[in-house]
């Protein structure tokens, strides 16, 4: 998506720090622009660019809100500053709660405005441009579906804005749509996208489809939408069948596949390399040139907030505010054979070698090895060091990021973010079949085993007893195997909190993790356990400012 960075953004309804009613948008030459497919594409790229906002995948929906789980926590043991949100200690007035809400509605407005303008102008297009316009319309509807999916699963009870005219209504007229109606609207958008988008490898319409929606991306997203719809809090179990059937279409198409090398995923995303085999939806922060100014570059905090803690490196520093829950690493099944284990976390940091004075070198967190520390023989000192020091390593900037795509500055990077990978869909396929049929099918076993084989460094299409799950599992055993596998495959990629929520075990998981950590390390840093409440933290609060403006709204449970 190199071209997505430098273009005139022709439409942008900016709801930043404002509610749904404020008309603070800017439209440049709207009456005379979008008269052909090339101009329409330029505007469409603006709708894509919304993905990289800090309130969406640049920071908050990728990193900040997703931290407190059984896999991860924030550095430190207080609610000071940056730790407040990861501790689940915030209120409905929290600025990040407001800015994510605003950014998503801003993006939905942009999608609505693009579609309405395209629809009004398309009759002027040539026949060739009309063919492109249909694809662009499908992309816009897929993007709108994605933004609404994030809104409904994070905030639950939202206003459904289906056109730009609604955005001009007085805020007191907005009503909360039933979540089921929002999901149905998302489903309709994605069905349109599926019917009108080509698979990435078959695309003859777009000269460059890098980091753009394809039929595979729309099929995968709708699979995830159905799986979420089937789970907590809506619990429409009929949607498991829809999820399984949608995933089956994608899997049997043969148009997407797992990369043979799991580590290649991180080499790719850290350097803006598009590979549509496995990447279905990816937020691109890549720029062909980097100014070093965060306000001008399409930058996010990937690798800075959730990378390996570092100082004295090429990009000045990595805060490395994410910390890995050590008991998750300890309890990782088959960790000696599973290559994903060592790739997923760091038992080191980058800093100054005190003996040589050299900066930016790899330094072990503790003299005692991590394997020793997590064993019964580990000392309390080593356990504490690793509890405080282990970071995710999938976005290790010093290991993966090439000089040509190096960090913008100490706080921002040009590293991309996977929103949806093919491996995620394979695991959802296995899960949906098990839930729909009441026990795992042959296809369910094959889907999860393909992911496991790749994780073990084995050919994905060849059965192997060293990686494959044991046959004959019942529903509950296979369900737990799926839940474990999603943790291993997708660790720290922003999926775990929403997985735990849709499984209805978010609070219970936080409590169990806290106890496991206390049993292992008597004084662990896991502050979120003190603030997380059942029936409350499954949703974010509706921002307090919008609650005051939209007088018919009811606040989400536990946030009043």
Per DSSP, the three-state class of 280 is strand
Residue 11 pLDDT > 50, yes or no?
no
The residue behind tokens 């991306």 is 217
Query: Is residue 505 domain-resident?
Result: no
By DSSP bridging, strand 11-13 and strand 25-27 are antiparallel
Q: Give domain status of residue 331, yes or no.
A: yes
**Mean of pLDDT values over 43-50:** 94
Which token pair is 533?
């409440």
- Range picked from 180-184, 286-290, 384-388 for highest mean pLDDT: 180-184
Tell me which of 259 and 288 has the higher pLDDT: 259
pTM: 0.93
| DSSP per-residue string spanning 387-421 | HHH-EE-TT-HHHH--GGG--SSSS-B---EEEEE
Per the CB < 8 A criterion, the answer to whether 349 and 363 are in contact is yes
Tens of pLDDT, residues 373-384: 998 889 999 999
Domain boundary among 393, 415, 437: 415
Residue 8: predicted pLDDT: 31
Last residue of a domain, one of 357, 392, 415: 415
**pLDDT value at residue 440:** 98
- pLDDT tier at 354 (50, 70, 90 boundaries)? confident
How many whole angstroms separate alpha carbon 370 and alpha carbon 388?
13
CATH number of the domain within which 47 lies: 1.25.40.890
Of the candidates 285, 459, 517, 488, the one whose C-alpha atom is nearest the C-alpha of residue 394 is: 488
Residues 108/57, Cβ–Cβ less than 8 Å: no
Considering only the C-alpha atoms of the chain, give the largest distance between any 2 of them, rounded to a whole number of Å. 75
Burial label, 50 (beta-carbon count in 10 A; 0-12, 13-18, 19+): buried
Given this model, what pLDDT does residue 418 score?
Answer: 98
Domain annotation covers residue 520: no
Computed over every residue of the chain, the mean pLDDT equals 91
pLDDT of residue 411: 86
Q: How large is the average pLDDT for residues 468-478?
A: 97
Q: Are 177 and 550 in contact (CB under 8 A)?
A: no
250 domain-assigned: no
Q: Which of 417, 477, 413 is nearest to 448 (CA)?
A: 477
The DSSP code for 316 is E
Whether the pLDDT of residue 101 is over 80: the answer is: yes
Residues 155/160/162/165 CA torsion (nearest 10 deg) = -110
Q: Is 281 exposed, middle or buried (0-12, 13-18, 19+ CB in 10 A)?
A: buried
Q: Domain total for the chain?
A: 2
* Distant-in-sequence, close-in-space partners of 192: CB < 8 Å, separation ≥ 6: 137, 138, 141
Phi, psi dihedrals of residue 441, rounded to the nearest 5°: -95, 170
Please give the average per-residue pLDDT across 124-148, as a whole number. 97
- Rounded distance, CA 49 to CA 545, Å? 26
Q: Has residue 182 been placed in a domain?
A: yes
Going through 68-125 in order, the beta strands assigned E by DSSP cover 72-74
Of 392, 415, 438, the position where a domain reaches its end is: 415
Region 133-152 average pLDDT: 98
How many CB atoms within 10 Å of residue 558? 13
Alpha carbons 421 and 430: distance in angstroms, whole number: 15
490 found inside a domain? no
User: What's the pLDDT at 4?
Assistant: 31
**Lowest-pLDDT choice from 136-140, 292-296, 379-383, 517-521:** 292-296
* Radius of gyration of the chain from its Cα atoms, rounded to whole angstroms: 23
Is 241 among the domain residues? no
123 inside domain: yes
**Exposed, middle or buried by CB within 10 Å (0-12, 13-18, 19+), for 200?**
buried
- pLDDT of 31 reads 67
Q: How many angstroms separate the Cα of 531 from the Cα of each of 69, 91, 463?
A: 13, 11, 45
Percent of all residues in the chain with a pLDDT value above 70, rounded to a whole number: 92
Let me know if 356 is exposed, middle or buried by CB neighbors in 10 A (0-12, 13-18, 19+).
exposed
Question: Per residue in 391-408, pLDDT tens?
Answer: 999 999 999 998 877 777
Please, are residues 137 and 197 in contact by the beta-carbon 8 Å criterion?
no
pLDDT interval class at 353 (50, 70, 90): confident
Is residue 209 pLDDT above 70, yes or no?
A: yes
Give the rounded percent of residues in the chain with a pLDDT score beyond 90: 83
How confident is the model over 43-65, as a mean pLDDT?
95
Same domain (yes/no): 141, 6 = yes
Check whether 3 has a pLDDT greater than 80.
no
Quote the CA–CA distance of 460 and 441 in Å, as a whole number.
18
Model confidence at 190, pLDDT cuts 50, 70, 90, reads very high
DSSP state of 495: -
Identify whether the C-beta of residue 542 lies closer than 8 Å to the C-beta of residue 560: no
- The parent domain of residue 327 ranges over 310-415
Where residue 387 falls among pLDDT bands split at 50, 70, 90? Answer: very high
* 102 pLDDT above the threshold of 70: yes
Per residue in 78-99, pLDDT (tens digit) is: 999 999 999 999 999 999 999 9
164-189 tens-digit pLDDT: 999 889 999 999 999 999 999 999 99
Structure confidence by residue, pLDDT tens digits, 248-284? 999 999 999 999 999 999 999 999 999 999 999 999 9
Domain co-membership, 164 together with 21: yes
């Amino acid at each position: 998506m190199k071209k997505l960075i430098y273009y005139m953004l022709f439409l942008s309804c900016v709801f930043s720090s404002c509610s749904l009613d404020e008309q603070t948008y800017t439209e440049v030459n709207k009456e005379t622009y979008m008269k052909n497919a090339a101009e329409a594409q330029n505007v469409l790229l603006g709708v894509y660019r919304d993905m990289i906002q800090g309130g969406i995948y640049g920071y908050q929906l990728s990193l900040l809100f997703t931290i407190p789980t059984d896999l991860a926590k924030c550095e430190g043991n207080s609610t000071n500053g940056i730790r407040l949100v990861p501790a689940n200690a915030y209120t409905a007035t929290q600025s990040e709660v407001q800015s994510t809400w605003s950014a998503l509605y801003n993006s939905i407005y942009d999608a609505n405005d693009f579609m309405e303008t395209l629809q009004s102008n398309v009759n002027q297009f040539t026949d060739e441009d009309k063919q492109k316009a249909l694809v662009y319309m499908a992309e816009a509807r897929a993007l709108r579906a994605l933004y609404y999916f994030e809104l409904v699963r994070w905030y639950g009870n939202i206003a459904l804005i289906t056109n730009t005219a609604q955005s001009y209504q007085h805020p007191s007229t907005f009503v909360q749509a039933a979540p089921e109606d929002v999901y149905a609207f998302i489903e309709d958008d994605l069905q349109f996208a599926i019917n009108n988008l080509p698979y990435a490898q078959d695309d003859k319409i777009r000269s460059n489809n890098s980091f753009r929606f394809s039929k595979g991306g729309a099929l995968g997203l709708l699979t995830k939408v159905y799986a979420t719809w089937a789970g907590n809090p809506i619990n429409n179990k009929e949607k498991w069948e829809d999820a399984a059937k949608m995933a089956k279409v994608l899997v049997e198409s043969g148009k997407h596949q797992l990369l043979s090398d799991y580590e290649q995923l991180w080499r790719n995303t850290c350097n803006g390399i598009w590979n549509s085999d496995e990447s279905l939806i990816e937020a691109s922060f890549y720029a062909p040139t980097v100014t070093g100014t965060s306000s001008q570059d399409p930058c996010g905090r990937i690798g800075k907030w959730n990378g390996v803690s570092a100082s004295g490196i090429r990009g000045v520093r990595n805060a490395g505010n994410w910390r890995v829950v050590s008991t998750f690493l300890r309890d990782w099944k088959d960790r000696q054979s599973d290559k994903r284990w060592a790739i997923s976390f760091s038992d080191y940091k980058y800093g100054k070698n005190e003996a040589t004075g050299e900066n930016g070198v790899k330094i072990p967190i503790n003299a005692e090895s991590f394997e020793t520390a997590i064993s019964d023989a580990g000392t309390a000192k080593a356990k504490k060091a690793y509890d405080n020091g282990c970071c995710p390593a999938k976005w290790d900037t010093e290991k993966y990021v090439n000089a040509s795509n190096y960090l913008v500055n100490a706080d921002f990077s040009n590293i991309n973010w996977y929103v949806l990978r093919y491996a995620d869909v394979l695991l959802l396929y296995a899960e949906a079949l098990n839930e729909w049929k009441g026990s795992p099918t042959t296809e369910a076993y094959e889907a999860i085993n393909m992911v496991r084989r790749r994780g073990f460094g084995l050919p994905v299409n060849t059965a192997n007893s060293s990686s494959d799950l044991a046959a004959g599992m019942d529903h509950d055993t296979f369900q737990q195997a799926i839940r474990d596998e999603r943790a291993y495959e997708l660790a720290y990629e922003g999926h775990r909190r929403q997985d735990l929520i849709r499984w209805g075990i978010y609070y219970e998981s936080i409590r169990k993790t806290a106890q496991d950590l206390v049993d292992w390390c008597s004084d662990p840093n896991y502050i979120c356990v003190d603030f997380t409440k059942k029936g409350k933290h499954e949703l974010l609060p509706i921002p307090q400012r919008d609650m005051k403006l939209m007088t018919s709204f009811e606040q989400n449970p536990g946030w009043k």
